[in-house]
Every structure is written in C-alpha cells, then in structure tokens.
Amino acid sequence: MRRILVAGNWKMNLTYQEAGDLASDISGSNDSNVEVLVFPSSPFLSLANEFCDETISVGAQNCSQYDNGAFTGEVSCSMLKSMDIDWVLIGHSERRQIFHEDNQIIAQKVNTAIAQGLNVIFCCGEMLEIRDQGLQIEFVMEQIKQGLFQIPAESFKQIVIAYEPIWAIGTGATASPEQAQEMHREIREFINKNINAEVADQIRILYGGSVNASNADNLFSMQDIDGALVGGASLKADSFNNIIQAALKL
C-alpha cells in the first residue's frame, strides 16, 4: 500500500517569526499510512526542522544542479543533506516558467539530488492552452520522460511525482477528482510501460493545484491519488491540519 503524503509548499512567504509559529502549529501524523512534509524557504529550513514535531519532515523548495563551488546564490544538495534535510522539490512550474528551468536543467537537478541521497518531489503539469488543445497527456509524459527517465529503476524509491496543472495553481480552480485521476492513471501506466510494474505500483503521485480542506477528501479518495502538494492552504496551520485530517480519515 502506498503511504499518503501531504506536503505543504510555503513558496516565498512568511517572516522568520511566522515560519516558526506555523511550524510549531502543524499537527504531524503518527499514523503509519500518512506522511507530512513541509517546504519552507531556504533560510527557514533549520528553524522549521527545529519547530516541527518529529513526525514531520522538512524539505527544500529548490536545489542547484551543481555539486558545490562558485555559484553565487545557489544552494547545493550536499548543503541540504548536511542540515538534515532529506527532501527537495524539483520542476515546480514556477521554477520552470519564471526561472526558465527547462527539462534538461531539471534532469540534472534530479540526478544531483538522487546522488546526494535526497528524496525528490518531481513536479509536472500542463498550461491551460495545452489542455484546451487536448494535448495534456503527451505534454506531461514528455516532462516525466525528460526529467526522470535517465535515472535507474532502483532510484525511483527516492521519487514522488506531483501532478500540478498550471491552470489550477493558486487560482482556486482545482482539477476535478476525475480529471486528476485520469492523469495519475496515465502517469502510472507510462511508468509501468517504460520502467517496470513494481516502480509503477509503488511510486506515489500527488495532486497539486488549489487543494484545500474542502476538496482534499474527494481527491484523496481516487485510486491513483496518493496525497497532495498544497500551496496557499499550507500557510495557515488550521487549513493544513484539516487537509492532514482528511488523509487520516481515509
């Protein structure tokens, strides 16, 4: 059985004080079927690690594709590891669109993170004009192929996929549970065909895009949805805790 993962992406929000308060107000999960993760901004990683309860893991929102050296402003995977950070988000649509990270850079980041022993939430998802043309499945499969298929099958243990349609991020327009399920099933089938059946069965596929306390249970009830990557609703402890509760009720 795949463990449900509820992950909060705080993006570039909160002050130091607010990040510490939020970290201490999140109720983690002692349930072996539900895992909770938060992704604060880099300067708040240690703070969140200190203030979150011990059942919650802390991850970074980004990492460098390079190992170490003269890369001003970047944060390396080995730095994250040395701070007891075990997770990193790679390929978020904001990184792809605003910071021009293409599939090649994303694949390099995945390779570096895997080599350093980090777990990766690999984000993918189409823009509205791609869905309007009915091309969303090919588009997302190409992102997955180019960003992930260079790693060996055994490294998929370190990978979680997050399907985040761009038209649903921060807009309040969630994909319907059926739309999300359709894409998640396609992703699992694609991995089954191209990697193997065991990886396809075990890999967790999260949905992201305007997930909140009212729509989480319907999304979580779909067969191939193994949790959520939550942006806006993870910035308030109450709403994030309610999403965790929805996962615990499954």
198 in catalytic set: no
164 in catalytic set: yes
CA angle 42, 113, 55 (to 5 degrees): 60
Shortest distance (Å) from residue 154 CB to ligand PGA: 27
Q: Which residue's Cβ lies closest to ligand PGA?
A: 231
Shortest distance (Å) from residue 210 CB to ligand PGA: 4
Task: Exactly one of 35, 94, 164, 186 is catalytic; name it.
Answer: 164
The residue (of 45 and 206) whose beta carbon lies closer to ligand PGA is: 206
Shortest distance (Å) from residue 38 CB to ligand PGA: 12
Shortest distance (Å) from residue 1 CB to ligand PGA: 25
The residue (of 181 and 210) whose beta carbon lies closer to ligand PGA is: 210
Shortest distance (Å) from residue 36 CB to ligand PGA: 15
Ordered DSSP codes for the chain? -PPEEEEEE--S---HHHHHHHHHH------TTEEEEEE--GGGHHHHHHHS-TTEEEEES---SS-SSS-TT---HHHHHHTT--EEEE--HHHHHHS---HHHHHHHHHHHHHTT-EEEEEE---HHHHHTT-HHHHHHHHHHHHHTTS-GGGGGGEEEEE--GGGTTTS-PPPHHHHHHHHHHHHHHHHHHT-HHHHHH-EEEEESS--TTTHHHHHTSTT--EEEESGGGSSHHHHHHHHHHHHT-
The residue (of 63 and 200) whose beta carbon lies closer to ligand PGA is: 63
The residue (of 209 and 227) whose beta carbon lies closer to ligand PGA is: 209
Interacting residue ranges for ligand PGA, rule: CB under 6 A: 9, 164, 169-170, 208-211, 229-233
The residue (of 37 and 200) whose beta carbon lies closer to ligand PGA is: 37
Task: Exactly one of 92, 94, 126, 186 is catalytic; name it.
Answer: 92
Q: Which residues are catalytic?
A: 92, 164
